[in-house]
Amino acid sequence: MGWRLALRPYVLIVPALLLTCGILYPFGLGLYYTLFDFSASKPQPDMVRFENYETVFTQEAFWNSAWVTVLYAVGAAAVETVLGVAVALLLHRSSMVGRVLEKILILPLMIAPVIAAIIWKLMLQPSVGVINYLLRPFGLGGVQWTDTPTGALLSSIAVDVWVYTPFVAILALAGLRSLPASPFEAAAVDGAGWWYTFRRLTLPMLWPYVLVAVIFRFMDSLKVFDIIYALTEGGPGDSTVVLQIRAYLEAIRFQRYSFGISYTIVLWAVVYLAAMVLVKHLGKIQRKAAEVAAK
């Protein structure tokens, strides 16, 4: 074997290696910083080991933010999944209208989430917003959408749903179009109804695609910042201060760098664990889907 041939595998892994270093370097540096009390008021800090994490976990503010983050992520991912699959089923059934709607459907995905949040902020404005204007004939024109804790959280989830439901729908639609035709033909011959076919054939075979969308959306929703910050800034009170907003406030606004990074490391761990569980589950779902298709 010539030396060029022997060297080839090492040369080929260089881009991946550089990429890995590019990811690991800032991550490792961030992790290292959390072991210090680094802040603007202490630019040459002492090592405090895990004190920042201890403080994070003993803070009521952290548990409040963690709870809000989970509520947001579960709420947004669940609604987007149900709506996304429903939209995909509708588009899959109709032909010409479906093709036109498909094009329109992706419009929210072309808008930056922060811009979408600002547009919705204007639309939800109680006195001049279009939402209350449309609700006025039904006697509901005075709703203060983001002035109450529940309203603010639901409004934020609604914006997320508006932006990202098309993403789920597109993935689900791609899944629907790739399903094998033979099980459905057999079901039709047997005289199976729509609901039976959907429950016993479509959904089991579609699950892997849906779960991929859920994984993406759940992980993204856990890391949400832009939509909530543009819509409510985390208010009223602390009702929409998710972990990312808390981390931003600590690290950038209040300049407690180490403490702020500790929040992001905790969030990273949560997202990583959630993703691991979901991906493991995805494998099982894929095997089940393959079994249904093979029957």
Partner 1 sequence: MDMHVHDRRRFLALTAAAAATPLLAACGAGFGGDDSKSDGSAADDVTGSFDWKREKGTTVKALLNKHPYTDALIADLKSFTEKTGIKVEYDVFPEDNYFDKLTVDLSSGRASYDVFMLGAYMVWQYGPPGWLEDLGPWMRNSSATGAEWDQADFFPNLLQADQWSLKAGAPLGQGGQYALPWGWETNVVAYNTDVFKKLGLKPAETFDELREIAGTIKRKAPGAGFDGMYGIAVRGSRSWATIHPGFMTMYARNGLKDFTVQGGKLTPAMNTPQAVAFTEDWAGMVKQGGPPSWTSYTWYQCSSDLGAKKAGMLFDADTAAYFQAVEGASPASGKIAFHPGPKGPDGSLATNMWIWSLGMNAKSKKKSASWLFLQWATGKEHLRKSAITHNHIDPVRKSIADDSAYKDKMRHLPGFLETFETVVDQTKIQFTPQAQFFDATTSWASALQEIYGGQGAKGVLDGLAGDLADKVG
Buried residues in 209-231 as b, exposed as e (16+ CB within 10 A): bbbbbbbbbbbbbbbbebbbbbb
Which of 70, 92, 121, 135 is the binder for partner 1 (CB under 8 A)? 121
61 vs 10: CA distance, rounded Å:
48
Is 54 among the residues that bind partner 1 (CB under 8 A)? Answer: no
Span near partner 1 by CB under 8 A; candidates 40-48, 166-174, 189-197, 278-286: 40-48
Nearest CA to 67 out of 238, 292, 288, 252 is that of 238
Pick between residue 217 and residue 246 the one whose CB is nearest to partner 1: 246
Give the CA radius of gyration of the chain: 24
Is 32 among the residues that bind partner 1 (CB under 8 A)? Answer: yes
Is 197 among the residues that bind partner 1 (CB under 8 A)? Answer: no
142 vs 130: CA distance, rounded Å:
12
Pick between residue 118 and residue 187 the one whose CB is nearest to partner 1: 118
Is 236 among the residues that bind partner 1 (CB under 8 A)? Answer: yes
Is 232 among the residues that bind partner 1 (CB under 8 A)? Answer: yes
Pick between residue 97 and residue 134 the one whose CB is nearest to partner 1: 134
182 vs 246: CA distance, rounded Å:
52
**Residue 233: CB minimum distance to partner 1, A:** 4
Which of 19, 28, 140, 291 is the binder for partner 1 (CB under 8 A)? 28
Q: Give me the residue label for tokens 């490391």.
A: 265
Q: How many CB atoms lie within 10 A of CB 52?
A: 25
Is 127 among the residues that bind partner 1 (CB under 8 A)? Answer: yes
Q: Give me the residue label for tokens 């279009």.
A: 130
Cα–Cα–Cα angle for 17, 280, 64, rounded to 5 degrees: 90
Is 2 among the residues that bind partner 1 (CB under 8 A)? Answer: no
Binding footprint of partner 1 on the chain (CB under 8 A)? 6, 10, 17, 20-21, 24-25, 28-29, 32-33, 36, 38, 40-41, 43-45, 121, 124-127, 142, 144-149, 152, 232-238, 249, 252-255, 257
